[in-house]
Amino acid sequence: MELNRRTVMAGAAAAGIAATTLGGTAQAAASGSRKPVKELFGKLADGTKVYRWSLENGGTRLKVLSYGGIVQSLEVPDRHGRYKNVSLGFDHIEDYVAKSPYFGALIGRYGNRIAKGQFTLDGKKYQLSVNDGVNSLHGGAKGFDKHVWDVEPFTKGSDVGLHLYYTSVDGEMGYPGTLKAKVTYTLDKHGDWRIDYEATTDKATVVNLTSHVYWNLAGEGSGTIEDHELQIAASRYTPTDSGLIPTGELAKVAGTPFDFRHAKAIGRDIRAGHPQQVQAKGYDHNWALDKGVTAKPEHVATLRDPRSGRTLKIFTDQPGLQFYSGNFLDGTLVGTGGHTYRQGDALCLETQHFPDSPNHANFPSTVLRPGQTYRTTTIHKFSA
């Protein structure tokens, strides 16, 4: 049975259950918001300092780096009030720079892939940085995940959070226009984590910002997520070619392993042998959400770990959701808990516009023009 977050926290507080990672008790976590705390996390090779910000509110604990806006850890309680970090990450900045497969990062200027790193806008062809075979992935060789953002902490009413700022200059990674991006992370009194993205440009461009947290609701380093139950409100998905670029088709999920309209264990059909799964080594596809683009965030996905009871509900105004089942984790990375990350040890649920949208007229547009403001919101609601 799924319990309300406040019920779980009240029960944990009454029992005085100790938290398992950061110390303290669930009672302390239930006491409300705390002003963001800043500490030095490390330095880049050129001496640039990277800071870590710690936030806590409504029973959720969040640690964010100024480098890439990275979520280094996110802790929530299980059905008994016991805390675990449910996101993959590293203990040292050097690992994020040298090894990270986008753990916890903000992604831009364009999340996901663009075929051959090329698109045409207003009659002009643009060549982007190519960093995934012949394609451009997540903004190119030095996307938004590899820059230090300016961070401004805030408390507003019962909310606590961070404003993150980055300016991408005209021509960076091949993209036209100087893009001024602002991303706001907010923890509210219920422990919900909200991401608000904003951007403006001085020249027509394309933009698709997202977050690349790797989730394991049983706790990072605890093993496979194949027993996690996933539901996605989508009747269609976008099949891909051998380079994981959408073909342009919006295929029906009915009768395929891609049907998550009703909750099912991720492992149930992951080895079904569907050609799209063989090609991607699992799931690494965009689901075309039934709701499309909406004015406000709507519930589009639910992820649940039966063992701990931890549940994540995702709300977004975006038209797509990329579900990636951690296919390329290969046991060479050691995370914050000292465990290696292997294939299927985490998953990503990236709210987004469709991959390669600039090259598909039938996909929702990702064009941003001067005078317009790109705005989108994703909310993560936790319970147990």
Task: Supply the pTM of this predicted model.
Answer: 0.92
Q: Distance (Å, rounded) from C-alpha 368 to C-alpha 204?
A: 6
| Mean per-residue pLDDT, 277-283 | 96
Burial of 231-252, coded b for 16+ CB within 10 Å and e otherwise, reads bbbbbbbbbbeeebbbeeebbe
How far from the centroid of its chain's Cα atoms is residue 212's Cα?
3
Catalytic residue among 56, 172, 220, 350: 350
Tokens describing residue 127: 């060549």
Tokens describing residue 198: 């904003």
Q: DSSP secondary structure string, 189-208?
A: TT--EEEEEEEEESS-EE-B
Q: What are phi and psi of 305, to 5 degrees?
A: -100, 110
For 85-134, how does the pLDDT look when each residue is reduced to its tens digit (9 = 90+)?
A: 999 999 999 999 999 999 999 999 999 999 999 999 999 999 999 999 99
Burial of 325-357, coded b for 16+ CB within 10 Å and e otherwise, reads bbbebeeebebbbebebbebbbbbbbbbbbbbb
Provide CB contacts within 8 A for 311, sequence distance 6+: 2, 217, 302, 303, 304, 305, 382, 383, 384
Beta strand pairing call for 83-85 and 118-121:
unpaired
pLDDT tier, 241 (very low <50, low <70, confident <90, very high otherwise): very high
For 187-227, how does the pLDDT look when each residue is reduced to its tens digit (9 = 90+)?
A: 999 999 999 999 999 999 999 999 999 999 999 999 999 99
pLDDT tier, 10 (very low <50, low <70, confident <90, very high otherwise): very low
Q: Could you tell me which residue, 11 or 59, shows the higher pLDDT?
A: 59
Q: What is the pLDDT of residue 33?
A: 66
> Does 50 score more than 50 pLDDT?
yes
Catalytic residue among 75, 147, 172, 212: 212
> Does 19 score more than 60 pLDDT?
no
Q: Distance (Å, rounded) from C-alpha 238 to C-alpha 272?
A: 18
For 242-255, how does the pLDDT look when each residue is reduced to its tens digit (9 = 90+)?
A: 999 999 999 999 99
| Mean per-residue pLDDT, 305-332 | 97
Give catalytic status of residue 299 as yes or no. Answer: no
Q: What's the chain's average pLDDT?
A: 93
Give catalytic status of residue 152 as yes or no. Answer: no
pLDDT tier, 32 (very low <50, low <70, confident <90, very high otherwise): low
Q: Distance (Å, rounded) from C-alpha 234 to C-alpha 292?
A: 10
Q: Could you tell me which residue, 1 or 325, shows the higher pLDDT?
A: 325
User: Residue holding tokens 């995702």?
Assistant: 314
User: Residue holding tokens 């918001």?
Assistant: 33
